[in-house]
Structure 1
């Protein structure tokens, strides 16, 4: 599956063919990404990404998540996905990361819009959440720009580099998204 956003940007369903590109993307921004993402130290080789991608494919088959590789100018520059899919309660959480060199181009905003539209329109979700560390201002800017509501702070909710981080919880309800001026 591919979600085409524009001529330079698309989301491709995560597959083994992306392992090398994702590993290179991660390596280009390893220090920056490891500040807020607990899994970065576990990705030390292309083989680590292959194993991870196989889990992503299994989760997709089990309808537990749908994740995509962000392709910008024919390069893998990050990932985005709907995780913790719960079709009974019609909700999911968006997770994302982007290489340092790709930041500042509106890539993640446009990718989130496309994924949110997919979640609400194609998957029939009612609620989508985004969590971001209180210190990760760049990540928090995404849900703020998209009109998500702040629900509160989850205290010491994620362990990264041996420290517990507080996370800001943002949410969007399908009716709120539809009533906005979004593509």
Structure 2
């Protein structure tokens, strides 16, 4: 199984069915917080829902179409990050992520996202990584901004969030730019 140490207290690992209880508990404990920006929260009502998500991510990994990884902070599941899918033809992917409310503000997601960008460029040999976030989701937008991603534009009404549309800011990073960002 895929595991990657990000720093001494942070690791990412491929999600497995045995992670379903912890994942559901994390979702449940942060439900109101997560619901502000994530459209899948209301559909996650039982451990079986988390298990079904994990099963789909294992199929994604087996199909060589990216992966979803659990973020472990001091050995505890703190969130999820992953490649939504990989366009091997265009050598590109997009990254999605979420973190439980009590794990916010500790630099966890910035470190993990940096590791994922490294994986995309160094291990997968991709040329482009994209991150999208709702215009008003300032915490999520801060991640690509800290990492030196370029803001490329806004997609109007890009996502239906329960009862309204939200606009998404699109951030992009190219492999050539990443090597310059990492050196600075």
TM range (shorter): over 0.9
Aligned to 1:32: 33
3-state SS in 2 of match to 1:81: strand
Classify 1:13/1:182 alpha carbon distance in 2 versus 1 (closer, same or farther; 3 Å).
farther
TM-superposed CA distance for 1:47, in Å, is 0.6
3-state SS in 2 of match to 1:139: helix
Instruction: Describe how 1:65-80 pairs up with structure 2 within 5 A.
Output: 65-80=66-81
> What is the TM-score normalised by the length of structure 1?
0.97
Distance (whole Å) between structure 2 residues aligned to residue 182 and residue 14 of structure 1? 32
> What is the TM-score normalised by the length of structure 2?
0.96
Instruction: Describe how 1:1-183 pairs up with structure 2 within 5 A.
Output: 1-181=2-182
TM-superposed CA distance for 1:162, in Å, is 1.7
**1:89-122 deviations in whole A, cap 9, x for unaligned?**
0000000000111011100000001111011000
TM-superposed CA distance for 1:6, in Å, is 1.8
Distance (whole Å) between structure 1 residues aligned to residue 99 and residue 108 of structure 2? 8
Q: Runs ≥4 in structure 1, deviation > 3 angstroms?
A: none
Query: 2:14–2:70: 8 Å Cα contact kept in structure 1?
Result: yes
**1:44-93 deviations in whole A, cap 9, x for unaligned?**
11111111111111111112221100000111110000112101100000
Distance (whole Å) between structure 2 residues aligned to residue 115 and residue 88 of structure 1? 20
Gap regions ≥5 residues in structure 1? none
Q: How many residues align?
A: 183
Query: 2:67–2:85: 8 Å Cα contact kept in structure 1?
Result: no
